[in-house]
């Protein structure tokens, strides 16, 4: 079965520090997208960053960047200069079922200490 | 404004009383999907649709029905709700490309409680 694993259910980071959230997945496809979504207490699902698997370059969006290792099927999210507003649950997701749907991990709850 | 709108946002109902959660998107997306979110389980896909009149089961379809008669609408129907369907439900839509959904846009969620 195709799965996505977020092994750390909770993480904590000091404000202004850097934190990395890990995600591994399993797919036999060669061309796909990978996603990190953020869910703050409002419950809204917000796209943080998207990585295209055929691109070697890691995606970056302001303070958010990914470390994408295709051969290892690893897709971690790095948050630099953490802010209080980064406190949320973070989900990684990737396509399964021959790219017909997105499968989400169970999520990581990130807390930010002032 | 590009958005996915789902209603109702909150609903308390009783076992066996049929209900429909509506979902509408204004982005002309081919792909639409329903997810449910439960503590410790993340988001699990219920049904998805890759275009009008094309729907397929996700990972947890039991007890749910969907239809896609128009491109913009994708209602979720609970014919006979049971307490184990108490959950937070999300509708989402996306453009469709060869590598899968281009980016899922989510509605604000519908909190359903079945007594």
Q: Which residue among B48, B103, B109 places its CB closest to the CB of A43?
A: B109
Q: Rounded to an integer, what distance in angstroms lies between the CA atom of residue B60 and that of residue A112?
A: 34
Both tokens of A38, joined, read: 């953020």
Contact A53, A33 (CB under 8 A): yes
Query: What percentage of chain B reaches a pLDDT higher than 70?
Result: 99
- Asked whether the predicted pLDDT for residue B25 surpasses 80, the reply is yes
Mean pLDDT over all residues of chain B?
Answer: 94
The predicted model gives A70-87 an average pLDDT of 95
Can you give the pLDDT at residue B71?
96
* Beta partners for residue B37, in sequence order: B43, B88
**Closest by alpha carbon to A91, among B41, B13, B66, B3?**
B41
Are the beta carbons of B58 and A101 separated by less than 8 Å?
A: yes
Q: A82 vs chain B: nearest CA distance in angstroms?
A: 24
Are the beta carbons of A91 and B100 separated by less than 8 Å?
A: no
Q: Which residue among A35, A101, A107 places its CB closest to the CB of B33?
A: A101
- Cis (ω within 30 of 0) for the bond into B8? yes
Mean pLDDT over all residues of chain A?
Answer: 91
Can you give the pLDDT at residue B97?
76
Can you give the pLDDT at residue A1?
54
Can you give the pLDDT at residue A111?
97
Both tokens of B4, joined, read: 């996915």
- Tens-place pLDDT, residues B44-97: 999 999 899 999 999 999 999 999 999 999 999 999 999 999 999 999 999 887
- Tens-place pLDDT, residues A12-60: 999 999 999 999 998 877 778 899 999 999 999 999 999 988 888 899 9
- Asked whether the predicted pLDDT for residue B104 surpasses 60, the reply is yes
């Amino acid at each position: 079965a195709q799965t996505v694993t977020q092994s750390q259910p909770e993480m904590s980071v000091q404000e202004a520090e850097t934190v990395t959230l890990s995600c591994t997945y399993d797919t036999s496809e060669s061309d796909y997208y990978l996603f990190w979504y953020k869910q703050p207490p409002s419950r809204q699902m917000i796209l943080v960053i998207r990585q295209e698997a055929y691109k070697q370059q890691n995606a970056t969006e302001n303070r958010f960047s990914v470390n994408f290792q295709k051969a290892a099927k690893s897709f971690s999210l790095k948050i630099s200069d953490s802010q209080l507003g980064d406190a949320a649950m973070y989900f990684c997701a990737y396509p399964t079922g021959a790219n017909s749907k997105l499968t989400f991990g169970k999520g990581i709850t990130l807390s930010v200490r002032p | 404004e590009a958005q996915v709108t789902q209603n109702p946002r909150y609903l308390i109902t009783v076992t066996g009383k049929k209900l429909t959660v509506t979902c509408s998107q204004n982005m002309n997306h081919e792909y639409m999907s329903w997810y449910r979110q439960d503590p410790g389980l993340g988001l699990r896909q219920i049904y998805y649709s890759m275009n009008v009149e094309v729907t397929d089961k996700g990972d947890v379809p039991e007890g749910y029905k969907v239809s896609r008669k128009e491109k913009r609408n994708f209602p979720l129907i609970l014919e006979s709700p049971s307490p184990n369907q108490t959950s937070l439900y999300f509708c989402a839509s996306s453009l469709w490309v060869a590598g899968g959904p281009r980016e899922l846009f989510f509605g604000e969620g519908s909190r359903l409680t079945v007594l």
